[in-house]
Structure 1
């Protein structure tokens, strides 16, 4: 039983079939029931179940005709939603007779779970429902009906788009052909197809029962799809809180299908994930986190209060690490992710500033927030930080390499030690973060995103900023190279390049070739000028979140940064002439 090692197994008889049920975890804890889709068996949940079993009583069963469960005879009429509901209730009665269960469904597991959570006879038996890549056929039927009755160009486009995505549904309604394909070449090739197209690891999955699972499962479509789409139920309202997880790169389902879902599920929490259809295999970490958080919130009576910040559907529950989070852009970024419901790691070399940022992040709505102290230029300190974070919290989903220092002065006034200091923080700090945290993202194989905060100085040369500009230009090129390398692993890399932003960096910037008194004067002048510019770090933070959501490569922030970036591409000579201007003293 690969992937379910140590699981307790039982057989549940219902409606002429015998269901194979596997259980992990303490039965005294809240029960989470995982229902698989097509053409899977319960094995699709093995990685998610393992991650949940430390906190919950986890149950998965092979749907009738799949895996080690028996098939109904005859097959025709044996897979109706009514009979699948009988199976579910029989399993729930066996594994959790006294407490409602938390239901999770993927693909056809979600399709049938929508039936469970909307029919009267299952009311009170389901505490919550997490739906992944599988709509209610009743809701789908009404969605189609509204667009047919009022066929605006936009609605017709949505119908045609989903119709194209549903090509396989038409084939599964043909007689005999699907069975022959699955028991022949398709069944043999399917693991390789999933691994190549969906980045779903083939280790122990699918199981050897795949050909018969897929052949039997064709009746899920034949027994239900046309009947429900033609005559959808009008009372298909969810009687439990619902969490909807939408993979943004799903090849089979349009995001538009859930546009009107609140009318059917008023207690709805939305999540989005940059992943393909088979998220139980290609993103089990994130899936387990969201399921765990949602179940815990329902158990604690908080299911109706999801994070309310912008992009909460995207970042809720994700682990985000921000360096230089004690002040300025770093602090604003940590708080923006907190408002989106993320779990935030605020890292700064100033322990008090890091602790303050983490405390404020918790007040702003972070699912959790922790402070960490580290100097990003210290390779050993960063290695220890990465090891500690991974052990205690897991692999980071979003990394923001923000920590940096400023240095002004001419090239010949800039000493070797000045160069080392700037490059150690501004460049090597980014390299350490990308290598240690980005490397773990790549090893995990479940995607992620890296944001490197560069500067408009990366593409705007200046006679007054040779060391600082060089460090930021290197960060920009590093980001571009790393983006190319990690593109095939589902990891995005963005270089965010702010212009003049009103932050505390002006009060700590150093100026080469001047005495202490002159340096203090230059700092005050820079702080005054940046203050007059008045561009807040919160706007940069918003751009950082947007860059992750959109997977943007280079993001100039502020009008002057966007102008300089455009000139660097189309009129570089103009930038060179501007670079010759001596700054006022």
Structure 2
């Protein structure tokens, strides 16, 4: 690990840390508010084996300088800071960007501007939309109102109460200085930084310098790089529609809903790191994982889903496998005596077939582990054999944190097993 200082265009010094493989693709992680770069510790750990990982404290946070005045925190300046960091750590070629919260807001501004034109290979965004996109989104909800759009707009407005509160002079500043606001945030969001690691005071200027200016006068800002949005389903500040309804501005877009809260970067860093690594791999090599193909906004509801069907050698199991294949899913089939004939019928959508005794719970669990090792975590499991072992798949789906479905045609005994798994918090 190495450290360096990068001087921004207005003289502000930014604290930059570089870790990981010196010959790997360069990934720059941009934190949000009220965090500093330490927020990325878990995600960075998941990337350093194959990537050159760069983190930096944005102005006003961590070890970086903390200028006073709103003008120092305008989006144009923040985007220029990111450009300065990129040029310092990667003088030539392209970098990959991963950003969260206000880090995402400023990164959207950077990749849709001119400062980093041609320098960004991919962008993974969490919990932070472009303010221009957000302003246009709000206008669309109100100009062409439907019950759903009005509900989305109202829901986001209620989630954004703190933006108005931060415009009030003196009081928010005092609450940060005394530590009361940091403690309150952690009480509401256990995954947020502890008060002693929060950098909320100077970052208040982010809201005061940018929010109403950008939201009230949004400009069209298209992105011309591969983008994936990781949208935490339980985000208390940025709703899923605001994060994900950006198709009109992004030509190469993927949407992945992550089961988690606003600070999923802390609670599930391995999930964030794995998703970012998949987009980086695609941008570097052109090899697109099934998860990325599934997340394309133009993909059908079952297209590129990985589906496991047991009891698939005949009858309902075979018909189910064929129905999924017709919808573009990739299907794994299994039965007590194998399902080779069904696999042939699936043609290009047949992934593999297995022989597994569904009455043997341990055998089914080994089967589930083998599926994960050889093909990845399935999106849908249809257990037509319906006896044992669904819990293994449920656990995998919960760990992946991108949802999924388990459908069981079974006796009451199997239902009890599934309910026991649900009681342990394993329901996808």
C-alpha offsets along residues 333-392 of structure 1, whole Å, 9 cap, x if unaligned?
5994997788x77655556739948x969x44x9xx6666543444554565566667x4
State the alpha-carbon separation in 2 of the partners of residues 58 and 338 from structure 1.
42
- 1:451 matched to 2:406? The reply is yes
Residue 35 of structure 1 is matched in structure 2 by 30
State the alpha-carbon separation in 2 of the partners of residues 64 and 125 from structure 1.
22
When residues 22 and 437 of structure 1 are mapped into structure 2, their CA distance, relative to the original with a 3 A threshold, is farther
- Choose the corresponding residue for 1:45, options 40, 44, 49: 40
- 1:87 matched to 2:112? The reply is no
Residue 306 of structure 1 is matched in structure 2 by 293
- 1:375 matched to 2:357? The reply is yes
Secondary structure of 1:274 counterpart = strand
Q: Would the aligned equivalents of 1:320 and 1:345 in 2 still touch at CA under 8 Å?
A: yes
State the alpha-carbon separation in 2 of the partners of residues 190 and 346 from structure 1.
47
Unaligned runs of 5+ in 1: 1-6, 405-425, 456-471, 494-585
Residue 549 of structure 1 is matched in structure 2 by none
- 1:16 matched to 2:16? The reply is no
CA shift, 1:394, in A, is 11
Q: How does 1:335-374 map to 2 (within 5 A)?
A: 336=324, 349-350=336-337, 353=340, 356=343, 363-364=348-349, 374=356
Residue 224 of structure 1 is matched in structure 2 by 210
CA shift, 1:238, in A, is 0.8
When residues 382 and 453 of structure 1 are mapped into structure 2, their CA distance, relative to the original with a 3 A threshold, is closer
CA shift, 1:224, in A, is 0.7
Secondary structure of 1:67 counterpart = coil
- 1:263 matched to 2:248? The reply is yes
State the alpha-carbon separation in 2 of the partners of residues 322 and 8 from structure 1.
49
CA shift, 1:242, in A, is 1.7
**Which structure is higher in helix share?**
1
Q: Would the aligned equivalents of 1:40 and 1:206 in 2 still touch at CA under 8 Å?
A: no
State the alpha-carbon separation in 2 of the partners of residues 393 and 20 from structure 1.
42
CA shift, 1:40, in A, is 1.8
Secondary structure of 1:175 counterpart = coil
Residue 413 of structure 2 is matched in structure 1 by 474
State the alpha-carbon separation in 1 of the partners of residues 341 and 13 from structure 2.
56
Residue 240 of structure 1 is matched in structure 2 by 225
Q: Would the aligned equivalents of 1:454 and 1:473 in 2 still touch at CA under 8 Å?
A: no
State the alpha-carbon separation in 2 of the partners of residues 93 and 376 from structure 1.
57
Secondary structure of 2:414 counterpart = helix
- Choose the corresponding residue for 1:109, options 103, 116, 119: 103
CA shift, 1:312, in A, is 6.3
Q: Would the aligned equivalents of 1:397 and 1:448 in 2 still touch at CA under 8 Å?
A: no
C-alpha offsets along residues 502-557 of structure 1, whole Å, 9 cap, x if unaligned?
xxxxxxxxxxxxxxxxxxxxxxxxxxxxxxxxxxxxxxxxxxxxxxxxxxxxxxxx
Q: Would the aligned equivalents of 2:258 and 2:403 in 1 still touch at CA under 8 Å?
A: no
Residue 139 of structure 1 is matched in structure 2 by 133
Secondary structure of 2:16 counterpart = strand
State the alpha-carbon separation in 2 of the partners of residues 21 and 337 from structure 1.
49
TM-score using structure 2 length? 0.82
When residues 355 and 371 of structure 1 are mapped into structure 2, their CA distance, relative to the original with a 3 A threshold, is farther
Q: How does 1:393-404 map to 2 (within 5 A)?
A: 396=377, 400=381, 402=383, 404=385
CA shift, 1:111, in A, is 0.8
Q: Would the aligned equivalents of 1:51 and 1:285 in 2 still touch at CA under 8 Å?
A: yes
Q: Would the aligned equivalents of 2:229 and 2:254 in 1 still touch at CA under 8 Å?
A: yes
Q: Would the aligned equivalents of 2:182 and 2:194 in 1 still touch at CA under 8 Å?
A: no
Residue 276 of structure 2 is matched in structure 1 by 291
State the alpha-carbon separation in 1 of the partners of residues 268 and 212 from structure 2.
32
State the alpha-carbon separation in 1 of the partners of residues 6 and 359 from structure 2.
59
State the alpha-carbon separation in 2 of the partners of residues 337 and 66 from structure 1.
51
Unaligned runs of 5+ in 2: none
TM-score using structure 1 length? 0.62
CA shift, 1:265, in A, is 1.2
**RMSD across aligned positions (CA):** 3.8
Residue 463 of structure 1 is matched in structure 2 by none
Secondary structure of 1:215 counterpart = coil
Q: How does 1:397-412 map to 2 (within 5 A)?
A: 400=381, 402=383, 404=385
State the alpha-carbon separation in 1 of the partners of residues 53 and 341 from structure 2.
37
CA shift, 1:306, in A, is 3.3
- Choose the corresponding residue for 1:273, options 255, 258, 270: 258
Larger Rg, first or second structure (1 or 2): 1
Secondary structure of 2:133 counterpart = helix
Residue 582 of structure 1 is matched in structure 2 by none
When residues 145 and 43 of structure 1 are mapped into structure 2, their CA distance, relative to the original with a 3 A threshold, is same
C-alpha offsets along residues 73-123 of structure 1, whole Å, 9 cap, x if unaligned?
x24322111111121111111222222111122211111111011001211
Aligned length: 420
State the alpha-carbon separation in 2 of the partners of residues 172 and 146 from structure 1.
26
Q: Would the aligned equivalents of 2:233 and 2:240 in 1 still touch at CA under 8 Å?
A: yes
